[in-house]
Amino acid sequence: MYTIVYSEELAPSVKLFHVQAPLIAKKCQPGQFVIVRMDDEGERIPLTIADFDREKGTITLIFQEVGHSTRQMGSLKQGDQFLDVAGPLGKATHIEKFGTVVCIGGGIGVAPVYPIARAYKEAGNKVISIIGARNKDLLILEKEMAAVSDVFHITTDDGSKGRKGLVIDPLKELIEAGEEIAVVMAIGPVVMMRSVAEVTRPYSIHTIVSLNPIMVDGTGMCGGCRVSVANENKFACVDGPEFDAHEVDFAGLMARQRMYHHHEKQERPQGGSCKCHG
Amino acid sequence: MSWVKNKMPEQEPQERRRNFSEVALGYAPDTAQSEAKRCLQCKTAPCRQGCPVGINIPEFIKHIKDGDFDSAIAEIKTKNNLPAVCGRVCPQEDQCEKYCVVGKRGEPVAIGRLERFAADQFRLSETKQPAQPAELNQGKVAIIGAGPAGLAAAGDLARLGYKVTVMEALHAPGGVLMYGIPEFRLPKEIVASEINELKELGVEIMVNAIVGKTFTIDELLNEEGYDSVFISTGAGLPHFLEIPGENLNGVYSANEFLTRVNLMKAYKYPAAGTPVHAGQNVAVVGAGNVAMDAARTALRLGAENVYIVYRRSEDEMPARAEEKEHAKEEGVQFRLLTNPMAIVGDDKGWVKGLECIRMELGEPDSSGRRKPIAIPSSNFVLDVDTVIMAIGQGPNPLVQQTTPGLEVDRRGNIKADENGQTSKEGVFAGGDIVTGAATVILAMGAGKKAALAIHEYIQKKKGC
Ligand SMILES: Cc1cc2nc3c(=O)[nH]c(=O)nc-3n(C[C@H](O)[C@H](O)[C@H](O)COP(=O)(O)OP(=O)(O)OC[C@H]3O[C@@H](n4cnc5c(N)ncnc54)[C@H](O)[C@@H]3O)c2cc1C
Ligand SMILES: Cc1cc2nc3c(=O)[nH]c(=O)nc-3n(C[C@H](O)[C@H](O)[C@H](O)COP(=O)(O)OP(=O)(O)OC[C@H]3O[C@@H](n4cnc5c(N)ncnc54)[C@H](O)[C@@H]3O)c2cc1C
Ligand code: SF4
Ligand code: FES
């Protein structure tokens, strides 16, 4: 069992947990994820390792309540437990001193970007960060991101904090101003990642995105997470989740993410307390 | 004496095709005893050469005949840790029963059904005693993967006095027994109960432990204090056909489809959290046991038409005769000499058809099988909304990639000799990861051989 030793609400329906998982905390690297399962009837849900404390043996998970499982997860409190936490999964981010890197996080995507930005910084890069959300209440990890960035931008769709607009606006300006960018790392909703890819493509700036297809096992045995990259099928859980943004079939990814939409609308027991199905 | 096997009761096809309860219901005690009487108790017992784990077949059958069911299971368990599983899923017609003397004139003794009977009697008996753990002071062994190979090795090593930890990537042990073979052929409760008996022997099972990620083999040997490692990670990597449309919604690998239904219990959705899409018209590509399992599962999820699409003819189908029969009885439709060319999608990215071409059989190829050849311009579209690919699996590369000095063959399987010794000292391997996809009992046989070799290796190391 994996105990939640700390919990915090970062934004409406966005929660942070510190989870006791010493074997994972010892090994994990930025860019990796875990699969969690709440109880015996539960789904296996992939979540990025947003931070870790090797000494305390904890990992940090940050998640948004978007559907049945994440809502049920949101009802867990400090002291509650996950039945299963497996990992660390996926390939770690390739970190070295590149020069200038731009780290872009959209919405909940700021959570996975944070440990990567920190590692880039520790490796001696100039880190320019851009984080964005629909409005100021949905912004997460501002202080943390600011602390690991040389230059820091905030955008909101409605202008309630930072500048009004999208995360690609500051990126475009940086490129137009002639900033020598070695790598762009972008994580967030697929539409956001796709638009970042379109901004950098004409300039051939190496751009990396972290994909979030639907997963089951997360260890390479089902192929449910397959995505087409450079016209070849890859399993995001073992070959990724990070890929070259200029090679990803984003339209295919978006279509596959909707595979269970009609199921999710079905009538389901709400919250985590219903045990009537026994 | 009768020349035919005693019949095993089964659920009627019309009833069972829509439920997940076990199809075969097992012998009652009097039927089992009557079947046991058909055994001639041959001195040479040719049946034994067909059993990869060497069960003393006439001996356990004699106990059943005498009504001493406790002794029957005790005899089996000296060789086989998972008899309720093996009695259900082994292809006995190619193993023990193939060599049975009675089979020369009539039907062989139903060894598999009798093994199953003994194991079920024991499991359901109220007076059964937990197994006594041996003293575990001989050394520490790590086993990677809790499928039949790993579990067989674990049981034997614990009996030899080793402290064994089985590391399993998924949240439940069992390997294919848990995620692959469907509930209606092998109830998961039975798998769990036989695995629990291993725990009583002192075997520790660590789930959610992915070797190559959570630990590497070198760390297990050099830092975590294991004297030896046994790799039994199976053949879990699904193959796709690489035809257009394979990423459409509604296309599954058999592994994903079966994992959702078996391991994640998607057939109980929404009471269980994992959904599965089972369409109205389902094509399963392939004709092995995995394809039969996927097809019969799709029927039980409510599909109206389920097709097996296979490019050769019925004679070449690799599935067991019994599986094929069961599938037919339940209404699975066979589209033979039919080869998929492309999956056709609608404008929302969902499967709406499977484009196929008709085939005919030509001359035998190097494998001796007649080669299927496409008939020009015979393309047609099968009207389906789900496609399940059951065309084989390869080795999962995670352990091999993270273990320097471990040799693999050109297909990525780990190279090991017949005792399981790999190219790396202290590291043994067995089961599907060495042979490619095979059978439960062969994997168990490999696990047992490796357990002995590991025992020898550790004792020798301690000696000097
Ligand atoms: C490698 C990886 C890392 C991830 N890291 C995080 C993270 O750190 N924090 C976080 O909040 N989420 C993360 N996700 C997404 C998260 O797994 C999904 O939000 C979650 O599975 C939804 O479960 P649900 O039952 O609550 O929602 P559902 O009821 O299943 O779905 C609700 C909505 O989410 C969509 N959805 C379902 N599964 C996924 C998925 N895997 N990815 C994206 N959308 C999905 C559905 O199409 C639907 O619109 C990650 C996904 C992957 C693959
Ligand atoms: C659908 C289906 C039906 C079948 N039906 C039959 C049948 O009726 N009769 C029969 O005899 N055979 C059948 N087989 C074949 C049989 O199941 C296999 O040959 C057998 O399970 C192989 O055993 P194994 O121990 O080598 O591997 P597996 O059973 O595959 O077990 C391997 C285990 O290792 C785990 N693992 C993998 N990588 C790692 C890692 N890096 N770290 C930790 N754990 C890891 C996996 O999660 C898995 O649990 C069937 C197979 C399938 C897929
Ligand atoms: S070969 Fe057949 S008849 Fe002879 S001992 Fe074995 S099971 Fe009995
Ligand atoms: S989630 Fe199953 S292969 Fe990636």
Ligand 3 atom 2 nearest Cα: B100
Chain B nearest-CA distance from A223, in A, is 7
- What single-letter DSSP state applies at residue A86? E
Which listed ligand is nearest to B146 at the C-alpha? Answer: 2
- Contact (CB<8Å) B238/A216: no
* B145-202 residue pLDDT tens: 999 999 999 999 999 999 999 999 999 999 999 999 999 999 999 999 999 989 999 9
Which of A84, A220, A258 shows the shortest C-beta gap to B208? A84
* Interval between CA B417 and ligand 2 midpoint (Å): 20
Which listed ligand is nearest to B270 at the C-alpha? Answer: 1
E strand or H helix at B283 = strand B281-285
Q: Mean pLDDT across the stretch A159-181?
A: 91
pLDDT of residue A269 exceeding 80, the answer is no
- Contact (CB<8Å) B396/A219: yes
Instruction: With beta carbons less than 8 A apart as the criterion, state whether A63 and A73 touch.
Output: yes
Please tell me the distance from the alpha carbon of residue A192 to that of residue A204, in angstroms, as a whole number.
18
pLDDT of residue A268 exceeding 80, the answer is no
Q: Mean pLDDT across the stretch B331-347?
A: 96
What is the rounded average pLDDT for all residues in chain B?
93
pLDDT of residue B90 exceeding 80, the answer is yes
Q: According to the model, what pLDDT value does residue A239 have?
A: 95
Q: According to the model, what pLDDT value does residue A271 have?
A: 38
More confident residue, A48 or B363: A48
Q: Mean pLDDT across the stretch B388-413?
A: 93
Q: According to the model, what pLDDT value does residue B322 have?
A: 87
- Residue of B144, B170, B251, B398 to mutate for A, most A C-beta atoms under 10 A: B170
Please tell me the distance from the alpha carbon of residue A31 to that of residue A210, in angstroms, as a whole number.
8
- For B141-161, the three-class secondary structure string (H helix, E strand, C coil) is EEEECCCHHHHHHHHHHHHCC
B348 class by beta-carbon count within 10 Å (0-12 exposed, 13-18 middle, 19+ buried) = exposed
Q: According to the model, what pLDDT value does residue A264 have?
A: 57
Which chain A residues are within 8 Å of B253, Cβ to Cβ?
A: 222-224
- Contact (CB<8Å) B273/A68: yes
* Interval between CA A171 and ligand 1 midpoint (Å): 26
Q: Report the residue among B176, B179, B297, B427 best suited for mutation to probe ligand 2: largest number of ligand atoms under 8 A from its CB.
A: B176
pLDDT of residue A272 exceeding 70, the answer is no
A30 Cβ below 6 A of ligand 4: no
Task: Report which ligand 4 atom has the smallest distance to the Cα of A218.
Answer: 1
For residue A3, what pLDDT band results from cuts at 50, 70 and 90?
very high
Q: What share of chain B is helix, strand, coil (3-state, %, to 5)?
A: 35, 20, 45
Q: Is B306 helix (H, G, I), strand (E, B) or coil?
A: strand
* Interval between CA A237 and ligand 3 midpoint (Å): 50
* B14-44 residue pLDDT tens: 999 999 999 999 999 999 999 999 999 999 9
Indicate if the alpha-carbon torsion angle A45, A51, A52, A53 is positive or negative.
negative
Task: Report which ligand 1 atom has the smallest distance to the Cα of A71.
Answer: 26
Instruction: With beta carbons less than 8 A apart as the criterion, state whether A230 and A82 touch.
Output: no
Q: Is A113 helix (H, G, I), strand (E, B) or coil?
A: helix
B37 class by beta-carbon count within 10 Å (0-12 exposed, 13-18 middle, 19+ buried) = middle
Instruction: Confirm or reject contact between B253 and chain A (CB < 8 A).
Output: yes
Instruction: Confirm or reject contact between A66 and chain B (CB < 8 A).
Output: no
pLDDT of residue B231 exceeding 90, the answer is yes
A69 Cβ below 6 A of ligand 1: yes
A158 class by beta-carbon count within 10 Å (0-12 exposed, 13-18 middle, 19+ buried) = exposed
Where do we find the tokens 């690609």? A168
pLDDT of residue A278 exceeding 70, the answer is no
Which listed ligand is nearest to B392 at the C-alpha? Answer: 2
For residue A266, what pLDDT band results from cuts at 50, 70 and 90?
low
- Residue of B188, B213, B269, B388 to mutate for A, most A C-beta atoms under 10 A: B213
Q: According to the model, what pLDDT value does residue B124 have?
A: 83
Please tell me the distance from the alpha carbon of residue B356 to that of residue B1, in angstroms, as a whole number.
51
Q: Which of residues 8-67 of B touch A (CB under 8 A)?
A: none
Q: Which of residues 44-63 of A touch B (CB under 8 A)?
A: 44
Chain A nearest-CA distance from B276, in A, is 8
**ipTM given for this complex:** 0.91
For residue A273, what pLDDT band results from cuts at 50, 70 and 90?
very low
Domains of chain A, first to last: 2-89 (2.40.30.10), 100-258 (3.40.50.80)
* Interval between CA B42 and ligand 3 midpoint (Å): 6
- Contact (CB<8Å) A238/B275: no
Annotated binding site of A for FAD: 62-64
* Alpha-carbon distances, residue A248 vs A234, A252, A259, A260, B348 (angstroms): 10, 9, 19, 22, 19
pLDDT of residue A127 exceeding 90, the answer is yes
Domains of chain B, first to last: 13-124 (1.10.1060.10), 140-236+395-462 (3.50.50.60), 239-389 (3.50.50.60)
- Among A6, A14, A105, A123, which Cα is nearest to A53's? A6
Where do we find the tokens 């034997």? B156
Q: According to the model, what pLDDT value does residue A276 have?
A: 36
Q: Mean pLDDT across the stretch B351-360?
A: 96
Q: According to the model, what pLDDT value does residue A263 have?
A: 65
Please tell me the distance from the alpha carbon of residue A219 to that of residue B167, in angstroms, as a whole number.
14
- Paired tokens of B101: 């003397």
More confident residue, B161 or B125: B161
Which of A24, A84, A87 shows the shortest C-beta gap to B171? A84
Q: For A119-128, B145-154, B361-370, which range has the lowest pLDDT when averaged over its residues? A: B361-370
- Contact (CB<8Å) A268/B270: yes
Which chain B residues are within 8 Å of A23, Cβ to Cβ?
A: 209, 214-215
Q: According to the model, what pLDDT value does residue A149 have?
A: 95
Q: According to the model, what pLDDT value does residue B424 have?
A: 94
A38 Cβ below 6 A of ligand 4: no
Q: Mean pLDDT across the stretch B353-382?
A: 91
* B45-56 residue pLDDT tens: 999 999 999 999
A220 Cβ below 6 A of ligand 4: yes
* A85-107 residue pLDDT tens: 999 999 999 999 999 999 999 99
Measured torsion, CA atoms of residues B261, B264, B268, B272, in degrees rounded to the nearest 10: -160
Q: Mean pLDDT across the stretch A5-29?
A: 94
pLDDT of residue A275 exceeding 60, the answer is no
Ligand 3 site: residues with CB under 6 angstroms?
Answer: B 39-42, 45-47, 57-58, 100-102, 109, 111
Instruction: With beta carbons less than 8 A apart as the criterion, state whether A219 and B398 touch.
Output: yes
pLDDT of residue A270 exceeding 60, the answer is no
- Contact (CB<8Å) A221/B268: no
Share of residues in chain B with pLDDT > 90 (%): 86
Q: Report the residue among B440, B444, B448 best suited for mutation to probe ligand 2: largest number of ligand atoms under 8 A from its CB.
A: B440
Ligand 1 atom 25 nearest Cα: A69
